[in-house]
Structure formats: structure tokens, C-alpha cells
């Protein structure tokens, strides 16, 4: 059974489009279950009806014609109950609905299972049988449920592929189709998609239409000659070491490279206007699909060869292909996984939006995007993003949605939202030099989180009083090796100088988790529970010592440096780090630098630290809460995984209780406490944190003016009353609504995410 299941899934996976996938499903399931009818109905988002999309056993002419409302017939019943329905005599069921076009009056027994993907009912998979005495048994029901669960993702993906090219389920023109991910950075953008993809990954190559066909033919021809040459050379070198049957493998490869074999087909695709790399990808995928269908073991084995050849040809083409991507004026960068290096490659001022398949709103690239003020959608998992190259896209970073090929009306709606946001920011500029103080005179420092130099410029423009978190890993991530002490010293000096005499808090290198250095890969099963932050640098004192030395030397004459330690879960880690910092301090002074001992602090971002606040605070000068990680670890929700993004909630009562406790315990031993997670930059979050007594809030520069404007317009007593109210509640969603409502009533409705308003506006047309 398992092998049948696997082979069906594999075959469906390699289908060219949705219709082919559905046709394969019905014919293979009918066969495997030895039943007379197998059909699939999908929900058409336009009409909100179940449409018969494919069948084996009913009249084919009914496909695309027969449709049922959401609560109509047995299909509607399966969909609304979200569970299988297994009947011996379907026509006698009160919900049975008869369609003469299908010829289904002949069939009595019925088994329908819903096709559900991420809680959304996509459709219903049905098998039917003429013989009333044959009730589908438990094993058959379980088989159909398994198939349906496995195929839901493939169906969702194929549906999205059609929709990107502007086609509805029924093949009609579809406009303004939205694709949902997770909000990454707020704001909206309208621009042109540029897909950046990792090299030598055939499946990641985007489709692109080109004008200069001759040039593409030449690129491909050169790659074929080069690969042929490579294979001949290897064959010659190994001639004496291999048996003749093994040598024959090279013959097979060379034959596959004959002009009338695979290359001929690639040339045909190029002549139809596809660029060489895309044409190669299409042909290799066709071959793979074709061979996968073959029962023949030998031919199935050839899939590996075809893929290998494809990769070799691609590598040659990419070597000679000009590396410079052309970025349009309004670039929306699209990738399977966006890296900080990719962001750096887009010329200044041309990057308007980001779309990433992987990651979630608390992934580090989303945090960077927020700092840069670039609207971002993350976790667009079911969307074949490599089809977005060159397409016009709207990125809605409030709602976490994108629209491909939008209509003029939709663009007008979004243009208006862009203009409103700009006006809001301009209005806040006047606050720049005013203190961050409540109406009743309570001061709370507003600091910024930085990583790139551009953040510094923005922060100064927005009136930040210092840096609460400089993520030193960012300059490490955009290099190809560890930066030298001198290079680090230069980065750090820039940050320290820009804010002097105000404090600049530099966090020691925090890599691991989702922050990877290409030149220092960490491959682990559970990276967020693994070798991260201080654990890495204490194991590599040579990295830690160089970094601290660079920081101390950079602070000479400024003396506004503070050092902060990430991911502390044990007191001994603080003691070891302090020991190393003191050692460097004395050495650097001995070298003749006139420096002061910096204040040292600990980040509270794992639950263990929450219960040892006093012990930690006794050893250092300050504490700073990393609420992004603290939320992830308290709720056991991977901050980077879009599947569980709905469960990641910094307003969760457990998180709020922990935050209250941290502030209380730190103050009880007379130590200041700040927060540098994203919650600090959320106007509602900032109000609660201020009420809890946090001394400083550190956030991305873009959020600072909004937070300052709220703080300056409220009383601390009002904030405390709100905090007391929400601490009585037990649901994160209710807490969020309660805080939103309080802000709205206080006149800050325009600071709340306008997501719902956008969705409503769009829906209302
Ligand atoms: C945090 O975890 O809240 C934090 C500020 O650090 P980072 O997001 O860089 O992990
Ligand atoms: Mg952290």
C-alpha cells in the first residue's frame, strides 16, 4: 500500500499543471482502489462552488460543467463537516443531489473525503461503486484520507501556479488573485518582481522570455560543448580503472548530449522565446516526468543521469552568464530564501518590496526589512515564486499578501494607501527633537536596533536616543569570511561615533538559528535549540576576543560603548564572558589605548534566564529582553516557521507575565532593564512595556516616531490601568483586540495595521 501511495504522489508531483495532476489522481486512485468511479471536486474561489474537475467513471462531458454550492449535495456535506462520509446507498441520503450529466444514478455506494490544506477545504475526493452491497471498508477509507492529505499541498501549489499566470480554476481569466503568506515588514509596494535564485539549482531557475534568441542559443551551445569536453576527459582519465560496463555510462551521457536528443528539445524551447537556463529546466523536468511514469527500473535510474547532466549544463551557463542582475526602478525582490547579501545587491533607492518563500515575521531578514522600511511578505509557501520574474506585483506587508498582475483599480487602492503612509510619516517628523515623555512626566528612553549603516542614518533622522541593540552579525553576514579586527573596528567606530555621547549597545556575535554565515556553516537538526549566540563564541574564544578587542579600540575617546551577551542560559556563561572581556580590557589598555571599561549587560531571551534575573543582574550592569526569542522559547514556536506563525504571539498571557516578572526582579536589585525585541516597536506593546516599568525601549527606526507619538499623548496611569486589565485576560487574541481598541479610542487608530481595512476595501471593490 505504501509503495502505491508513494508512486501516486510522485507522479502527481511531477505533473505539468493542475489539470494533469487531477487527471492522474482520479485514474491512479480508481485503479488502486479497484472502484468504478473516482472524481475530484475543487472549490472555485470566484464562484465559491465545488466544480467537478476530473473523473474516471462518470461522463467526461460533465467535467467543468457540474458544480455544487458550498452546502449542496453530499459533496457540500463532506466539505462542511470536514470529515469523510461513507454510504452504502447514497441516493437514499437526504442530501443526495442528482446530476443527469454525470450518469451517476448507476452508482450507489459513495465515499467522499475532504481535501484540506492549512485548514482550508480545497475540495472533495470521491469514489463510487455500482454495487450497493459494497460498502467501502475501513482500510479503503484510510487509504483515501491518506492520499487526500498528501495531495492537498500539491493541489494548492498547482492552483497557485495557474493563478499566477492569470488563470482561474476553470481556465477563465483571473485578475487580482492574492497569495497569502505572513506579514514580514509593514507597508505596501507596487513594483516588478526580480527572482534571485541560488546557483546550480535547476528547480529554482525562473521562466523568462527573451528577445535575443541567437545569444541564448550560443550560450546553450557553448555549455553543451563544454560539458561534452568534461565528460570525455573524465572518461579518458578513468579508462584504465573502470570495467567496460562502467565505461558505457559515459557513452550514455554523451548520447544524451547528441543534437537530436535533449539539446535539440532545449533549442526548440529557446526558439520559442524562453531563455537558455529556463529552457533547460523545462526539458529536464519533462524528461523526469516522463521517466517517472515508466515502470521500467532502468529508465527510472536514468532520471539521476538526466538531472546530473542538467546541473552540469546549468553550471556552465551560469559561469558565463553575466552575474549582474538588472534591477528595475521599483524592484520587488523575490526568492526562496532572501539573505542580507541579496538585499545589499539592489542599488540604493530601487528596492521597494520583498517576498520570501521561507521564514516568518520574526526571521532575521524580516527584522532587517523592517529596519530598512521595505514592505515584506514572508512564508509564501505554496506559491511557485519562480514564475514571478518580470511580473508586476503588489506587496501588502500589512496583511502578508501579494497580488500578481493586478488590475488598474487595485493598483489605485494601493497607491492611495502608500500616499497615506507617507503623509503619516511626514506628520511625525516634527517630533524628532521632542522628549519621549508621557503627559504626566514619565520618561522612557527610545533607542534603535541597528545592523547596517543605513539604519544609523534613519535612526538619527527619527530622533533615537542611542542604540539599544547593534546586531553585529549583520556585517559578518554580508562578507565572505570573518571580518578582521581592523575591519570590525571600522564598522563599530561608525556606529559609536554617530551616536556619541549617547550609548551604543553592541551585542557579541549572535549566529546560529536562522542566522547563517556562508563561510561558517552550522548544520543541525534543531538549530534554534543548538549552537547559537554565546554558545558558539565561548567555544571559539578567538572569535569572541577579536570582536571585543575591536569594540574596545573603536570606543577610544568616545566611551559610549556597552556590550551585551546573547542567548545566556547559565550564570557560568556570563562569568566566562566577563572574564574574557576584562582580559581584553587590560590588554588593550596595556597597548596604550585610553579606554573605559564598558558597561556589560545580558540578554534575557530564554526561559531559564527569566527565573534567574536577580543572579544575572548581580553580575552585570543592565539587562535587555530579547522578546523575539523569548516568545519563541516560551511558546515553543519556531519564529522562522510560517506553518506555526499563527501561534507566535508576543501578547500571549505567558509572555506578558514573564515580562512583568523580569522588570520587577531587575528593579528589585536596582538594575535597569530594557527591551530590544520587536514588541517594543509595536505601539500597543510599547504602552504595556512602559506600564510594566521598562526603562528603555529599543526598536527599528521606522517604528520609533509612531511609538514616540503615542507615549507623548498618554498618561502612565492610563497605561497601567490598561496593563492591569489585559493581565486578567487569558487569550492572546482577546488581549490584542483589547489593546487595539484602547489605542483606537485614544485616537491612534491610524497606527494600527490597516490590514483589515485594505482587505475590506479590496473585497468591496
Ligand atoms: C530577540 O531575540 O528579541 C532579539 C532582539 O534578538 P534577535 O532578534 O536578533 O534574535
Ligand atoms: Mg535573539
Q: What is the pLDDT of residues 490-514, one digit of tens each?
A: 999 999 999 999 999 999 999 999 8
Structural contact between residues 102 and 59, judged by C-beta atoms closer than 8 angstroms:
yes
Q: What is the mean pLDDT of residues 368-397?
A: 88
* Centroid of ligand 2 to alpha carbon of 676 (angstroms): 9
* Centroid of ligand 2 to alpha carbon of 629 (angstroms): 5
Q: Verify that 415 and 534 share a domain, yes or no.
A: no
Of 762, 179, 763, 758, whose CA–CA distance to 418 is shortest? Answer: 758
pLDDT beyond 60 at 757 = no
Residue 677 CA, closest ligand 1 atom number: 3
* Centroid of ligand 2 to alpha carbon of 161 (angstroms): 36
Residue 362 CA, closest ligand 1 atom number: 8
Q: Is any ligand 1 atom within 6 A of the Cβ of residue 627?
A: yes
249-to-252, 263, 302, 399, 703 alpha-carbon distances in Å: 5, 18, 10, 53, 61
Q: Verify that 408 and 481 share a domain, yes or no.
A: no
pLDDT score for 457: 74
Closest ligand to the CA of 366: 1
pLDDT beyond 70 at 297 = no
Residue 765 pLDDT level (bands cut at 50, 70, 90): very low
The string of DSSP codes covering 618-678 is HHSSEEEE-HHHHHHHHHT--TT-GGGGGG--TT-HHHHHHHHHHHHHHHHTT--EEE-SG
Cβ partners under 8 Å of residue 89, min gap 6? 108, 109, 132
Q: Is any ligand 1 atom within 6 A of the Cβ of residue 336?
A: no
Residue 367 CA, closest ligand 1 atom number: 8
Q: What is the mean pLDDT of residues 141-160?
A: 88
Structural contact between residues 536 and 515, judged by C-beta atoms closer than 8 angstroms:
no
- The CATH number for 335's domain is 3.50.30.10
Q: Where are the alpha helices (DSSP H) in 294-346?
A: 297-320, 340-345
Dihedral over Cα of 285, 290, 295, 301: its sign: negative
* Centroid of ligand 2 to alpha carbon of 678 (angstroms): 10
For the ranges 119-128, 287-296, 404-413, which has the lowest average pLDDT? 287-296
pTM of the model: 0.78
Structural contact between residues 666 and 610, judged by C-beta atoms closer than 8 angstroms:
no
Of the listed 269, 316, 649, 676, which one is catalytic? 676
Q: What is the mean pLDDT of residues 289-297?
A: 69
Atom 6 in ligand 1: residue holding the nearest Cα: 626
Q: Is any ligand 1 atom within 6 A of the Cβ of residue 568?
A: no
Q: Verify that 329 and 311 share a domain, yes or no.
A: no
Give the whole-angstrom CA distance, residue 476 versus residue 411: 39
- The CATH number for 279's domain is 1.10.274.10
Q: Which of 388, 422, 456 is at the close of a domain?
A: 422
Active site residue 676: yes
* Centroid of ligand 2 to alpha carbon of 311 (angstroms): 38
Q: Verify that 476 and 531 share a domain, yes or no.
A: yes
pLDDT score for 243: 63
Atom 10 in ligand 1: residue holding the nearest Cα: 629
Q: Which of 291, 320, 349 is at the close of a domain?
A: 320
Cβ partners under 8 Å of residue 614, min gap 6? 665, 668, 669
**Ligand 1 pocket, mutate which of 369, 474, 510, 534 (most atoms under 8 A from CB):** 510
Q: Is any ligand 1 atom within 6 A of the Cβ of residue 628?
A: yes
Residue 743 pLDDT level (bands cut at 50, 70, 90): very high
Q: Verify that 256 and 352 share a domain, yes or no.
A: no
* Centroid of ligand 1 to alpha carbon of 140 (angstroms): 49
Give the whole-angstrom CA distance, residue 329 versus residue 349: 8
Q: For residue range 312-369, what is the model confidence (pLDDT) as tens digits?
A: 888 888 876 655 678 999 999 999 888 767 777 788 789 999 999 988 887 878 888 8
Q: Verify that 747 and 698 share a domain, yes or no.
A: yes
Closest ligand to the CA of 640: 1
Residue 627 CA, closest ligand 1 atom number: 3
* Centroid of ligand 2 to alpha carbon of 187 (angstroms): 24
Q: Verify that 695 and 560 share a domain, yes or no.
A: yes
Supply φ then ψ for residue 400, to 5 degrees: 70, 40
Closest ligand to the CA of 449: 1
pLDDT score for 565: 98
Q: Verify that 690 and 661 share a domain, yes or no.
A: yes
Q: For residue range 33-66, what is the model confidence (pLDDT) as tens digits?
A: 999 999 999 999 888 999 999 999 999 999 999 9
Give the whole-angstrom CA distance, residue 586 versus residue 165: 64
Active site residue 652: no
Q: Is any ligand 1 atom within 6 A of the Cβ of residue 471?
A: yes
Q: For residue range 253-286, what is the model confidence (pLDDT) as tens digits?
A: 788 888 888 899 999 999 999 999 999 999 988 8
pLDDT score for 322: 54
**Ligand 1 pocket, mutate which of 513, 602, 676, 682 (most atoms under 8 A from CB):** 676
Q: Verify that 617 and 579 share a domain, yes or no.
A: yes
Residue 469 CA, closest ligand 1 atom number: 5
pLDDT score for 361: 84
Q: Is any ligand 1 atom within 6 A of the Cβ of residue 263?
A: no
* 437 domain residue, yes or no: no
* 433 domain residue, yes or no: no
Q: Verify that 191 and 292 share a domain, yes or no.
A: no
pLDDT beyond 90 at 535 = yes
pLDDT beyond 60 at 762 = no
Q: Which of 422, 456, 491 is at the close of a domain?
A: 422
Q: What is the mean pLDDT of residues 644-656?
A: 95
* 460 domain residue, yes or no: yes
Q: Is any ligand 1 atom within 6 A of the Cβ of residue 605?
A: yes
pLDDT score for 12: 84
- The CATH number for 497's domain is 3.20.20.60
- The CATH number for 41's domain is 3.30.450.40
3-state helix, strand, coil in the chain (%, to 5): 50, 15, 30
Atom 1 in ligand 1: residue holding the nearest Cα: 626
Give the whole-angstrom CA distance, residue 648 versus residue 653: 12
* β-bridge mates for residue 404, sequence order: 393
Which residue range(s) make up the domain with 147?
A: 2-164
Closest ligand to the CA of 474: 1
* 182 domain residue, yes or no: yes
For the ranges 61-75, 469-483, 573-587, which has the lowest average pLDDT? 469-483
* 432 domain residue, yes or no: no
* 584 domain residue, yes or no: yes
483-to-365, 455, 492, 708 alpha-carbon distances in Å: 20, 20, 12, 36
**Ligand 1 pocket, mutate which of 360, 532, 566, 568 (most atoms under 8 A from CB):** 566
| Inter-axis angle of helices 262-271 and 276-293, nearest 10 | 130
Q: Is any ligand 1 atom within 6 A of the Cβ of residue 624?
A: no
Supply φ then ψ for residue 674, to 5 degrees: -125, 180
* Centroid of ligand 1 to alpha carbon of 89 (angstroms): 59
Q: Verify that 416 and 475 share a domain, yes or no.
A: no
Query: How many residues in the chain?
Result: 765
Q: Is any ligand 1 atom within 6 A of the Cβ of residue 367?
A: yes
* β-bridge mates for residue 85, sequence order: 112
Neighbours of ion ligand 2 (CB under 5 A): 605, 626, 629
Give the strand order in the sheet containing 178-180.
178-180, 401-404, 392-396, 188-195, 331-335, 351-356, 376-378, 182-185
Structural contact between residues 88 and 132, judged by C-beta atoms closer than 8 angstroms:
yes
Atom 4 in ligand 1: residue holding the nearest Cα: 626
* 170 domain residue, yes or no: no
* Centroid of ligand 1 to alpha carbon of 620 (angstroms): 19
Cell of 743: 489605542
Q: For residue range 683-740, what is the model confidence (pLDDT) as tens digits?
A: 999 999 999 999 999 998 888 999 999 999 999 999 999 999 999 999 999 999 999 9
State the average pLDDT for the chain.
Answer: 89
Of the listed 117, 269, 364, 649, which one is catalytic? 364
* 172 domain residue, yes or no: no
Give the largest Cα separation in the chain, rounded. 96
Q: How many domains does the structure of the chain reveal?
A: 4
**By percentage, how much of the chain surpasses pLDDT 90?**
58
Q: Is any ligand 1 atom within 6 A of the Cβ of residue 191?
A: no
pLDDT score for 426: 82
Q: Verify that 390 and 532 share a domain, yes or no.
A: no
pLDDT score for 750: 78
Q: Is any ligand 1 atom within 6 A of the Cβ of residue 513?
A: no
Strands (E) across 167-284 are located at 178-180, 182-185, 188-195
Q: Is any ligand 1 atom within 6 A of the Cβ of residue 56?
A: no
Residue 628 CA, closest ligand 1 atom number: 3
The DSSP 8-state label assigned to residue 540 in this structure reads -
**Ligand 1 pocket, mutate which of 507, 677, 698 (most atoms under 8 A from CB):** 677
Amino acid at each position: 500500500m505504501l509503495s502505491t501511495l508513494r508512486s501516486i504522489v510522485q507522479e502527481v508531483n511531477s505533473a505539468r499543471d493542475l489539470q494533469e495532476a487531477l487527471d492522474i489522481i482520479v485514474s491512479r486512485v480508481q485503479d488502486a482502489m479497484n472502484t468504478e468511479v473516482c472524481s475530484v471536486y475543487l472549490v472555485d474561489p470566484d464562484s465559491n462552488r465545488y466544480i467537478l474537475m476530473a473523473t474516471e467513471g462518470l461522463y467526461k462531458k460533465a467535467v467543468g460543467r457540474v458544480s455544487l454550492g458550498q452546502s449542496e449535495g453530499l459533496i457540500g456535506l463532506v466539505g462542511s463537516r470536514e470529515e469523510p462520509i461513507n454510504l452504502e446507498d447514497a441516493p437514499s441520503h437526504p442530501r443526495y443531489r442528482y446530476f443527469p450529466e454525470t450518469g451517476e444514478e448507476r452508482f450507489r455506494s459513495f465515499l467522499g473525503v475532504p481535501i484540506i490544506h492549512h485548514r482550508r477545504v480545497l475540495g472533495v475526493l470521491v469514489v463510487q461503486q455500482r454495487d450497493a452491497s459494497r460498502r467501502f471498508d475501513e482500510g479503503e477509507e484510510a487509504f483515501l484520507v491518506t492520499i487526500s492529505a498528501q495531495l492537498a499541498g500539491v493541489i494548492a501549489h498547482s492552483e497557485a501556479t495557474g493563478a499566477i499566470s492569470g488563470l482561474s480554476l476553470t481556465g477563465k481569466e483571473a485578475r487580482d488573485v492574492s497569495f497569502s503568506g505572513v506579514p514580514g515588514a509593514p507597508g505596501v509596494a507596487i513594483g516588478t518582481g526580480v527572482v534571485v535564485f541560488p546557483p546550480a539549482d535547476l528547480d529554482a531557475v525562473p521562466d523568462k522570455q527573451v528577445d535575443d534568441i541567437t545569444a541564448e542559443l550560443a550560450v546553450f551551445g557553448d555549455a553543451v560543448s563544454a560539458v561534452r569536453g568534461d565528460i570525455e576527459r573524465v572518461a579518458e582519465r578513468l579508462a584504465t580503472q573502470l570495467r567496460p560496463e562502467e565505461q558505457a555510462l559515459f557513452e550514455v551521457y554523451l548520447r544524451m548530449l547528441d543534437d537530436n536528443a535533449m539539446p535539440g528539445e532545449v533549442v526548440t524551447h529557446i526558439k520559442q522565446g524562453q531563455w537558455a537556463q529556463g529552457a533547460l529546466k523545462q526539458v529536464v523536468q519533462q524528461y523526469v516526468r516522463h521517466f517517472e511514469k515508466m515502470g521500467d527500473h532502468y529508465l527510472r535510474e536514468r532520471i539521476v543521469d538526466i538531472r546530473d547532466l542538467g546541473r552540469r549544463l546549468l553550471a556552465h551557463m551560469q559561469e558565463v552568464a553575466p552575474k549582474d542582475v538588472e534591477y528595475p526602478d521599483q524592484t520587488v525582490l523575490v526568492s526562496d530564501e532572501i539573505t542580507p547579501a541579496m538585499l545589499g545587491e539592489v542599488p540604493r533607492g530601487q528596492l521597494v518590496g520583498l517576498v520570501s518563500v521561507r521564514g516568518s515575521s520574526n526571521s532575521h531578514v524580516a527584522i532587517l526589512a523592517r529596519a530598512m522600511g521595505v514592505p515584506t511578505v514572508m512564508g509564501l509557501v505554496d506559491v511557485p515564486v519562480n514564475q514571478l520574474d518580470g511580473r508586476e506585483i503588489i506587496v501588502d506587508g500589512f496583511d502578508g499578501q501579494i497580488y500578481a498582475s493586478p488590475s488598474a483599480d487595485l493598483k489605485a487602492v494601493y497607491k492611495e494607501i502608500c500616499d497615506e503612509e507617507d503623509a503619516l510619516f511626514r506628520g511625525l517628523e516634527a517630533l524628532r527633537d521632542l522628549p519621549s515623555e508621557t503627559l504626566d512626566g514619565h520618561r522612557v528612553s527610545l533607542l534603535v536596533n541597528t545592523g547596517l549603516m543605513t539604519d544609523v542614518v534613519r535612526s538619527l533622522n527619527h530622533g533615537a536616543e542611542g542604540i539599544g541593540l547593534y546586531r553585529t552579525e549583520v556585517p559578518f553576514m554580508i562578507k565572505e569570511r570573518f571580518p578582521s579586527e581592523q575591519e570590525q573596528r571600522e564598522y563599530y567606530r561608525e556606529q559609536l561615533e554617530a551616536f556619541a555621547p549617547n550609548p551604543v549597545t553592541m551585542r557579541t556575535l549572535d549566529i546560529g538559528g536562522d542566522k547563517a554565515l556562508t563561510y561558517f556553516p552550522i548544520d543541525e537538526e534543531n538549530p534554534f535549540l543548538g549552537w547559537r549566540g554565546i554558545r558558539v563564541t565561548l567555544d571559539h574564544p578567538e572569535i569572541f576576543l577579536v570582536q571585543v578587542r575591536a569594540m574596545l579600540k573603536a570606543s577610544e575617546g568616545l566611551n559610549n560603548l556597552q556590550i551585551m551577551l546573547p542567548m545566556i542560559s547559565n550564570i557560568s556563561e556570563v562569568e566566562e564572558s566577563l572574564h574574557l572581556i576584562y582580559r581584553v580590557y587590560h590588554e588593550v589598555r596595556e597597548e596604550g589605548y585610553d579606554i573605559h571599561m564598558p558597561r556589560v549587560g545580558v540578554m534575557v531571551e530564554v526561559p531559564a534566564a527569566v527565573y534567574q534575573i536577580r543572579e544575572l543582574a548581580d553580575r552585570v550592569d543592565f539587562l535587555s529582553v530579547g522578546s523575539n526569542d523569548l516568545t519563541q522559547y516560551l511558546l515553543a514556536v519556531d519564529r522562522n516557521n510560517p506553518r506555526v506563525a499563527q501561534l507566535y504571539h508576543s501578547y500571549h498571557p505567558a509572555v506578558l507575565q514573564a515580562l512583568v516578572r523580569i522588570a520587577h526582579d531587575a528593579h528589585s536589585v536596582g538594575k535597569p532593564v530594557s527591551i530590544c525585541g520587536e514588541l517594543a516597536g509595536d505601539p500597543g506593546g510599547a504602552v504595556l512595556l512602559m506600564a510594566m516599568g521598562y526603562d528603555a525601549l529599543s526598536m527599528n527606526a521606522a517604528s520609533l516616531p509612531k511609538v514616540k507619538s503615542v507615549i507623548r499623548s498618554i498618561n502612565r496611569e492610563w497605561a497601567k490601568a490598561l496593563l492591569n486589565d489585559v493581565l486578567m485576560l487569558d487569550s492572546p487574541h482577546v488581549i490584542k483586540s483589547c489593546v487595539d481598541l484602547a489605542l483606537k479610542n485614544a485616537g491612534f487608530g491610524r497606527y494600527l495595521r490597516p490590514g483589515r481595512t485594505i482587505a475590506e476595501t479590496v473585497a468591496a471593490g
